């Protein structure tokens, strides 16, 4: 492709962005009483937010419904055509409906609106026509009108669909903030993501247990501890009394320092172990354990329950394998 055509592509792209941004910049000034009412309706509903739209509005409506659902507001998308063939039965009297149509004259909505009105269901309209049948039937109107589409023929929804998406985000995020929705709440609806791993997993969920936990009795020798170090490969051994309370910790580093000081493998472990030794509570969040490892410059630790008894062991590799990271 020659330089002229390359420059034209850049020009086209920049023109689209400039036009859509110009239209989007008009939205903040349009938020007023109707926006507040729309938010209040959603906040007070005892049911779900049902989002519906057809064509490009439908595609964006699916995203808006997903945004509501993932930020603490139960929601689903209902296709207008399917609604007319049975799916309208999914809407209950406790729900609220968000209908999206730029013209406000989608023929499917002309059949749906009377039924919603008969059910006394509140309607929020996202539309570009404030005099349309949809706007007149709505309890709250969110104005997404534009002067010009970015499409040079003015046919393909571009600026208008961008405004629709932005207005949906404005509504969903404002509701989220009003509800006091937190990171932990978000993680519960995204348990497979990195945020879910960081905020939902506790030490007891990712720690090693049973035979994987390196431990010796407080009457053991250095040799016993060394064999346990070799068996588990964790880099430390918990030294416990008869009730499994940790008296101290013996690490690879302790073993090396002992041998350099001409200690022997037959020395009693209680004489050379680190006291009291660092340990992790099993109720801590996994991300707290990782931060603690970094703060103390260690890579592993035994885990204790609320009574101080040994219940597991954890190292930094276990945390990384579970998807726990200090990075966002």
Query: Would you call 56 helix, strand, or coil by DSSP?
Result: helix
Q: Is 144 helix (H, G, I), strand (E, B) or coil?
A: coil
Q: Which tokens in the block code for residue 115?
A: 């039924």
Q: Supply the range of the domain harboring residue 300.
A: 200-321
* Claim to verify: residue 71 and residue 107 sit in the same structural domain: yes
190 is in an annotated binding site: no
pLDDT tens-digit readout, 237-292: 888 888 888 888 888 887 888 888 777 788 888 887 878 878 889 888 888 888 88
Is 194 among the domain residues?
Answer: no
9 lies in the same domain as 149: yes
Residue in the block written with tokens 């190292």:
315
For residue 297, give every residue at least 6 positions away whose Cβ sits within 8 Å of its Cβ, in sequence order, or none.
none
Return d(Cα 188, Cα 203) in angstroms, integer. Answer: 17
The residue written with tokens 């010009």 in the block is 148
Residues 19-31: pLDDT tens digits? 999 999 999 999 9
- Whether 170 and 270 share a structural domain: no
Same-domain status, 22 and 170? yes
Q: Residues of the chain with pLDDT > 70: what percent? A: 93
pLDDT average, residue stretch 132-138: 96
Please say which residue of 181, 211, 239 terminates a domain: 181
Start-to-end CA span in the chain (Å):
40
| DSSP character at residue 127 | E
* Domain assignment present for 192: no
8 A C-beta contact, residue 207 and residue 282? yes
Of 124, 154, 181, the position where a domain reaches its end is 181
Q: Is 86 left (phi over 0), alpha (psi -120 to 50) or beta?
A: left
Looking at the structure, tell me whether residues 163 and 24 fall in a common domain: yes
Indicate whether 91 and 7 sit together in one domain. Answer: yes
The count of domains in the chain is 2
Looking at residue 193, what is its pLDDT? Answer: 52
* 250 and 269 Cβ atoms separated by less than 8 Å: yes
189 domain residue, yes or no: no
Looking at the domain assignment, is residue 14 inside a domain?
yes
28 and 71 housed in the same domain: yes
The CATH number that applies at residue 273 is 3.10.580.10
The number of beta carbons lying within 10 Å of the beta carbon of residue 240 is: 19
Question: Cα(160)–Cα(170) distance, rounded to whole angstroms?
Answer: 15
Residue-by-residue DSSP string for 277-288? ---EETTSBHHH
Gap between the Cα atoms of 141 and 162, Å rounded: 17
Residues 127, 218: one domain? Answer: no
| Pair (163, 278) in one structural domain | no
- Assign 196 a pLDDT band (cuts: 50, 70, 90): low
Look at residue 195 and tell me if it is in a domain: no
Mean pLDDT of 103-129: 95
Q: pLDDT tens for residues 198-243? A: 566 788 888 888 888 888 888 888 888 888 888 888 888 888 888 8
Both 85 and 229 in one domain: the answer is no
Residues 28 and 20: their CA atoms lie apart, in Å, by 14
Residue 275 belongs to some domain of the structure: yes
CA distance 310 to 302: 7
- Residue 186's pLDDT band, with cuts at 50, 70 and 90, is low
Does any domain span residue 287?
Answer: yes
Q: What are the helix (H) ranges across the chain?
A: 3-24, 27-30, 33-44, 56-70, 80-83, 107-118, 133-137, 159-179, 183-188, 194-200, 203-206, 222-232, 252-260, 269-272, 286-296, 316-321
327 in any annotated domain: no
Local structure of residue 153 (DSSP, 8 states): T
Rounded distance between C-alpha atoms, residue 221 and residue 269, angstroms: 5
Residues 282 and 207 in one domain: yes
pLDDT of residue 56: 93
One domain, residues 117 and 33: yes
pTM for this structure?
0.67
For residue 52, what is the domain's CATH number? 3.40.50.10490
CA–CA dist 245, 213 (Å, integer): 14
Of 147, 181, 215, the residue at which a domain comes to its end is: 181
- CB-based contacts of 246, cutoff 8 Å, min separation 6: 238, 239, 240, 276, 277, 279, 302, 304, 308, 310
Give me 309's structure tokens: 């008894």
């Amino acid at each position: 492709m020659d330089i002229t055509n390359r420059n034209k592509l850049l020009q086209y792209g920049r023109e689209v962005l400039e036009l859509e941004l110009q239209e989007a910049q008009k939205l903040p000034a349009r938020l007023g009483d109707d926006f507040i009412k729309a938010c209040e309706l959603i906040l007070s509903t005892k049911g779900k937010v049902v989002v519906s739209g057809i064509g490009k509005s439908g595609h964006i409506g699916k995203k808006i419904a997903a945004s509501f659902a993932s930020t603490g507001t139960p929601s689903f998308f209902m296709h207008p055509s399917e609604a007319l063939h049975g799916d309208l039965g999914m809407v209950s009297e406790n729900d609220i409906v968000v209908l999206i149509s730029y013209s406000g004259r989608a023929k499917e909505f002309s059949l749906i609106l009377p039924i919603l009105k008969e059910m006394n269901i509140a309607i929020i309209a996202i539309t570009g026509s404030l005099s349309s049948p949809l706007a007149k039937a709505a309890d709250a109107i969110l104005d997404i009108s534009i002067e010009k589409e970015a499409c040079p023929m003015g046919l393909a929804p571009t600026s208008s669909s961008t405004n629709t998406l932005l207005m949906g985000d404005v509504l969903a995020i404002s509701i989220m903030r009003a509800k006091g929705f937190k990171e932990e709440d978000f993680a519960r609806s995204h348990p497979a993501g990195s945020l879910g791993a960081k905020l939902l997993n506790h030490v007891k969920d990712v720690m090693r247990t049973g035979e994987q936990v390196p431990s010796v009795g407080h009457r053991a020798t250095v040799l016993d501890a060394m064999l346990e170090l070799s068996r588990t490969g964790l880099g430390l051994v918990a030294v416990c009394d008869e009730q499994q309370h940790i008296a101290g910790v013996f690490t690879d580093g302790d073993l090396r320092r002992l041998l350099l000081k001409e200690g022997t493998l037959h020395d009693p472990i209680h004489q050379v172990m680190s006291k009291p030794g660092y340990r992790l509570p099993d109720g801590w969040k996994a991300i707290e354990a990782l931060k603690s490892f970094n703060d103390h410059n260690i890579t592993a630790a035994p885990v204790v329950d609320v009574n101080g008894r040994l219940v597991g062991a954890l190292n930094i590799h276990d945390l990384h394998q579970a998807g726990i990271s200090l990075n966002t």
